[in-house]
Amino acid sequence: MAHAQEIQLQIREQESDHGEDGSAPKAAAVRGGSPRGGVRWWLSVAADMFMVLCGQTVATLLGRLYYNSGGNSKWMATLTQSAGSPLLAILLLFTPAPAADEPRPAAAKMAPIYVGLGIIIGFDNLMYSYALQYLPVSTFSLVAATQLGFNSVTSRLINAQRFTVLIANSVVVLTFSAALLGIGASSDETASSVPRGKYPAGFALTLAASAVFALILSLFEATFEKVVRTRTLRWVLRAQLWTNVVASTVSAVGLLASGDWRTIPAEMAAFKDGRARYVATLVGTAVSWQVMAVGSLRLIVRVSSLFANVTGTLSLPLVPVFAVALFGDRMTGIKAVSMLMAVWGFLSYAYQQYIDGRRAAGAGKGRAAAKCRVCAARAGSDPDSPA
């Protein structure tokens, strides 16, 4: 019996150590519903990353195309960033029914969260809409990369993000990767179509929008950690749906109050290549933003808000590559180096996730082995207990 008590004491000490020093690996083991580092976990993360990379790249390019082709309504551009939310309602209908033991936060608790986050998202979308009109694509990507630095601060303060050398390296390298784009921004062909006098305003608005976006990601992570307390696809879609409904309401009210709605018919008629191209551009932008948002939120749930932002930053150097074909930008050596640095920074972060997964798996096996030793000790001592 004494031997069994010693083993139990060792188990308590091991679990205590993991709680103080390895809380992140412990959480990592349960994020996303499957063990971190497993094949299924990495496949799910890869799929979510693909959604973020494709969605953000396409949405940014279509947003620039809207302005280049004759669009001018900032509120319409803002509305497209959240107006695709009805698509989420369709997806929600096909998700599995919630389990009987799944947490169900009270509607009275979730409603203020949805409204608050939705309003913040609505005005953040408006700042991005102004910024994308006032800056060329490459410069916009440069300044938007600061969201990773802002998110490093918010994730540390709000989500208690654990920083390691690899994570710090990833943040620094990705930030410099996007910063390199600014070196050649003055030579971009698209810069000639952007009024020079709007550069300071575009810079300030992009910086402010990036800071607010970083805050939104951290608040989403805190909501799932402390309020929702479950990480199912159903809750991801539900959170994205209702916050986007509120953001769309903010945008629609702004569109009506500003009088921009009166200019839409003329804008549509004057749009390059006609009305069908106008509608297709707006619909494509709306769908792309929803794909990006769902992928980003799933990454927040599975990993962290910082990892979601790292993935989003990885897409920034991809934008100028596609801008070469769409807007006539020139591909330079600086942009190629920027892409390589982005890949390097992302792989650094991904390797940290791999290490965390291995540690979590090792800790789980250690606890299981210790538990077996306790059971064996108890079995060995049971025959003596009646005496």
CB atoms < 10 A from the CB of 204, how many? 15
As given in the structure block, the two tokens for residue 314 are 């990885």
As given in the structure block, the two tokens for residue 160 are 């208690």
Contact between residue 109 and residue 236 where contact means Cβ atoms under 8 Å apart: no
Confidence of residue 35 (pLDDT cuts 50, 70, 90): low
pTM of this prediction? 0.73
Average pLDDT for the chain: 77
As given in the structure block, the two tokens for residue 312 are 């989003």
Least confident residue range of 19-28, 32-41, 313-322 = 19-28
Helix, strand, coil percentages for the chain (3-state, nearest 5)? 85, 0, 15
Note the pLDDT of residue 183: 58
Separation CA 267–CA 278 (nearest Å): 9
> pLDDT, tens digit, for every residue of 189-215?
444 456 667 778 888 898 899 889 989
> pLDDT, tens digit, for every residue of 328-359?
666 677 767 777 777 787 777 777 777 877 77
Residue identified by tokens 């108890």 is 378
Q: Which of 304, 348, 316, 362 is nearest to 158 (CA)?
A: 304
- List phi, psi (to 5°) of 145: -65, -20
> pLDDT, tens digit, for every residue of 68-78?
888 888 899 99
- Kind and range of the H or E run holding 220: helix 199-223
Separation CA 309–CA 149 (nearest Å): 10
> pLDDT, tens digit, for every residue of 107-152?
899 999 999 999 999 999 999 988 888 877 767 776 777 777 787 7
Contact between residue 270 and residue 328 where contact means Cβ atoms under 8 Å apart: no
CB atoms < 10 A from the CB of 97, how many? 7
Share of the chain above pLDDT 90, in %: 22
Separation CA 164–CA 152 (nearest Å): 12
Separation CA 288–CA 302 (nearest Å): 21
Residue identified by tokens 């497993």 is 38
